Amino acid sequence: MADQPTATERFIQGILPENPVLRQLLGLCPALAVTANMKSALTMTGAVLFVLFCANVITSLIRNLLKPHLRIVVFTLTIATFVTIADRFLAAYLYQMSKTLGPYIPLIIVNCIIICRCEVCASKQSVFVAGADAIGQSIGFGLAISAIAAVREILGTGNFFDIPVLPAAWPDWVVMVLPPGAFLTFGLLIGLVNWYETVRAQRPVREVLEPAQSEGA
């Protein structure tokens, strides 16, 4: 346990160094499917934050009781419960949004980000670290899908959060709101992040932010 990252490290790693979408390439289904506009992207982030936080905390609380060969069953059970709660909550209080997101809220159950965090962090570390990890990873997820959604919504409809930001003369690039737009934006974004990481790695002096730790990550 001595080598495990601290809560602060876990939190920071989730945001960029180990960003779930851009660095670990997990959770791509929602990253491609619900990023046609900012509102759905943020609702999705909220749902993922809720599920990931609850699942991480519960898993961490029972981590000493877990039997290795039954741990995946326990993770899935926990995740499914909180996903169902999130889904019902949206249907009750954000009915239109729940219709827009359709099956993608129930699909959080199979979102690899969450099961990955339960396995990597929550089943080994304390509740506090697991909670910080969940929040960090969710912020990272939110930033990544908001970035995709912002590009797609602005270029595809000329709006940002449904508010017109481009002049009316802007010819809406409909392809951006369609599935190909998701792949194009996502591919370019991954390219950008990889390029940035390469440039950063070549610099002789490393950031003081996360020493040694992130080398192996």
Partner 1 sequence: MTAQGKTHFFSQAWLVLVLAICFGGLLAGMQIVLGPTIEANKINETLERVPELVFGAAHAKELSETGMEIKPLSVGVEKAGKTVRYNVYETKSDGRLAGWVTKSAGQGYADKIEILIGFDPQVEKITGLFVLDQKETPGLGNKILEAGWRGQFLDKSTAKPLAPVKGQAKAGHEIDAITGATISSKAVTDIINTAVADLRQPLTDKAKGQ
Query: Under the criterion CB under 8 A, does residue 74 sit at the interface with partner 1?
Result: yes
Query: Under the criterion CB under 8 A, does residue 89 sit at the interface with partner 1?
Result: yes
The nearer residue to partner 1, 25 or 62, going by C-beta atoms, is 62
CB of 135 closer than 8 Å to CB of 142: no
Query: Under the criterion CB under 8 A, does residue 61 sit at the interface with partner 1?
Result: no
Selected range binding partner 1 among 20-28, 62-70, 117-125, 192-200, rule: CB under 8 A: 62-70
Residues paired with 159 in a beta bridge: 164
The nearer residue to partner 1, 95 or 195, going by C-beta atoms, is 95
- By CB under 8 A, the residues from 16 to 45 that bind partner 1 are 36
CB of 30 closer than 8 Å to CB of 150: no
- In whole angstroms, how close is the CB of 84 to partner 1 at the nearest point? 6
Q: Residues interacting with partner 1, by CB under 8 A?
A: 36, 62, 65-67, 70, 73-74, 77-78, 80-81, 84-85, 88-89, 91-93, 95, 99, 156, 172, 174, 177-178
